[in-house]
Structure 1
Amino acid sequence: MVTRTALAAVAGLASLALVGQGGAISPLEWDAGPLTVSALPRIVQTAHRGGAREVPENSMSGLVAAYERGTAQVLDLDTRMLRDGTMVVMHDATLNRTTYMGGPVDALDRRDWEGVRLRPGDGLPGSWRSERPPTLAEVLDRFGGRTVLILEAKDPRSLPTLAAMIRSRGLTRSVLVNSNHPAVARRAHRMGLVSQLWRSARQMRTDRPERWRSFVDVLDVDHKARDRDLVRAVRSGIPRVWAHTVATPAERDRALALGCDGIITDAPGRLARAGGQRAAGPRGARP
């Protein structure tokens, strides 16, 4: 295992949940200026789908809880387009897994969406009510400028709509647009958006990430990838390299030791409470 990279600021992840007056949880603010991608700390923790092992994924109540708990600096969510062009927050192409309904998401329009209700997953801590999954406009209006957001564009055809929604709210520097496709990341970059590209462990075996450094702002890599593939990503020249989808402190610590400077997790609260160990040696150099 490569150990050249220090786990700088890992201990800080344990203190992200700040208790305010009267025991209320207050979100952590890491910079006095605007909450933009460039203002993020050196080591970043992202709540994947709001933290899907702790809250109902891609729900407004889950995103609010993740934000108020302060255990992540970035909120991640998935976006899809309805048949009338409305952008909504949903991971799957169908409603079957996470709602009480079935059928394809893109067969619905905005009026239909009003009748959709999420089904909270079994085993989530706490008590969660059924609710309508949010539209993207609702999420941007609630969190835009208050925290950094990742929007995974599940429908590449929606990119112009996403760009217009982000621009009209003045959020081009605080929203990452994510995709598994380098061509989509390139298009997002050309539109003036902050681009993120995610890659699976299998893809990373043959990827040459240095080819993407001119248009990818964050490379989102599978933590299950081989050590040498993670190190190649870290040394690619891409400004930030984050590991997904991390579930345990050991997985987090390995990714950070190999040089990743962020993790994407379904359990941000658990990892924030767990803390971490600081590895010896300097942080691995990047081009």
Structure 2
Amino acid sequence: MVTTALVAGAAVLTLTRPLIPLEFAGRAPTAQALRGIVYTAHRGGALEAPENSMSGLLAALRTRDAQVIDFDTRMLRDGTLVVLHDATLDRTTDRRGAVRALDRRQWREVRLRPDRSLRGRWAPEHPPSVGEVLDRLGGKTVLMLEAKDPRSLPRLAELIRARRLTRSVFVNSNSPAVALRAHRMGLMAQLWRSAGQMRNDEPQRWRSFVDLLDVDYRARDEDLHRAVRSGIPRVWAHTVNTPRDRDRALRLGCNGIITDAPRLLTSTPVR
């Protein structure tokens, strides 16, 4: 629910909870149905649950603190698509080495190591495949996946189309060329840009094929303004983990927030 009030001539926006995804009204959600300030649980909410884990993704779905759930994708040497952010296993799992060096059988032996700073009790678990996440969460909420390996795009498209999720899954990349390929495949294309890239970007050039422009909240005011005025319908800021940074992004015109702390931000009013 979103409530707007006018105080001394200035709009003050107070968010009590995000809008409830449409599946709870009996229909599968689509990106078109997203309204108001949209919150995305980045890597499932990596400050509140083990990042890119099935338990974390399901927790984000269950709590409804975010309308969109984000995860990262990598490709194994046999073409299997799996959920992990880094190119190596070192930081978040009990193994070491390149993700790309594994096959499907070896992947099943990997276990995620929950960060000790997380609140609550989280057990080590097998990191999921992309297919498993689409099967568990697809049709229940809007999803956002980052294609870390551009070569995986045809396989990602196949998995998304097979489940009839083309209107409820954003496919994210840092490359305008990859975003254009995703668009031509009939997918919803998301393009993320760093603060450094945004200094020279001309985002209006991408409005014909980018459904969601994902901008670095640390960018200069003028660069964020240029993104908001680009004609791209959705301009969401990443990765925003404090109310103060969220409020600035919204004040400058962003209409979505990508965060590792969805519970914190959705429970803190916007000022």
Same fold (TM over 0.5): yes
Distance 2:11 2:111 in 1: 41
Instruction: Select the structure with the greater relative contact order (CA < 8 A; seq sep ≥ 6).
Output: 1
The question of whether the paired residues in 1 share the 8 Å contact of 2:22 and 2:28 is answered with no
1:231-246 equivalences under 5 Å are 231-246=225-240
Which amino acid letter does the alignment assign opposite residue 265 of structure 2?
L
Is it true that 1:109 corresponds to 2:103 in the alignment? yes
SS in 2 for 1:159: helix
Counterpart position of 1:172 = 166
Match for residue 119 of structure 2 among 114, 125, 132? 125
SS in 1 for 2:239: strand
SS in 1 for 2:214: strand
Match for residue 139 of structure 1 among 130, 133, 144? 133
Counterpart position of 1:261 = 255
Can you list the C-alpha shifts for 1:157-200, whole angstroms capped at 9, x where unaligned?
00000000000000000000000000000000000000000000
Is it true that 1:11 corresponds to 2:5 in the alignment? no
Match for residue 49 of structure 1 among 43, 48, 58? 43
Can you list the C-alpha shifts for 1:26-57, whole angstroms capped at 9, x where unaligned?
x9335744300111112100000000000000
The question of whether the paired residues in 2 share the 8 Å contact of 1:7 and 1:256 is answered with no
Counterpart position of 1:280 = none
1:6-45 equivalences under 5 Å are 10-12=13-15, 14-16=16-18, 28-30=20-22, 32=25, 33-45=27-39
Counterpart position of 2:217 = 223
Which amino acid letter does the alignment assign opposite residue 115 of structure 2?
G
Counterpart position of 1:208 = 202
Counterpart position of 1:79 = 73
Q: Tell me the percent identity.
A: 66
Can you list the C-alpha shifts for 1:139-171, whole angstroms capped at 9, x where unaligned?
000010100000100000000000000000000
Q: RMSD across aligned C-alpha pairs, in angstroms?
A: 1.4
Counterpart position of 1:91 = 85
Distance 1:207 1:215 in 2: 15
Q: CA deviation at 1:11?
A: 2.6
The question of whether the paired residues in 1 share the 8 Å contact of 2:216 and 2:239 is answered with yes
SS in 2 for 1:185: helix
SS in 2 for 1:238: coil
SS in 2 for 1:274: coil
Counterpart position of 1:23 = none
Larger displacement relative to structure 2 (28-37 or 126-135): 28-37
The question of whether the paired residues in 2 share the 8 Å contact of 1:58 and 1:89 is answered with yes
Which amino acid letter does the alignment assign opposite residue 192 of structure 2?
W
Can you list the C-alpha shifts for 1:63-83, whole angstroms capped at 9, x where unaligned?
011111110000000001111
Counterpart position of 2:246 = 252
Q: CA deviation at 1:275?
A: 1.7
Distance 2:30 2:154 in 1: 21
Name structure 1 gaps, 5 residues minimum. Answer: 1-5, 17-26, 278-287
Q: CA deviation at 1:276?
A: 1.3
Q: CA deviation at 1:258?
A: 0.5
Is it true that 1:188 corresponds to 2:182 in the alignment? yes
Q: How many residues align?
A: 260
Which amino acid letter does the alignment assign opposite residue 78 of structure 2?
D
Q: CA deviation at 1:272?
A: 1.1
Distance 2:87 2:243 in 1: 31
Distance 1:99 1:74 in 2: 25
Q: CA deviation at 1:271?
A: 0.6
TM-score scaled by structure 1?
0.88
Runs of 4+ deviating beyond 6 Å? none
The question of whether the paired residues in 1 share the 8 Å contact of 2:43 and 2:52 is answered with yes
Which amino acid letter does the alignment assign opposite residue 159 of structure 1?
L
Distance 2:149 2:269 in 1: 36
Q: CA deviation at 1:7?
A: 6.9
Can you list the C-alpha shifts for 1:86-119, whole angstroms capped at 9, x where unaligned?
1100000000000010000010011001100001
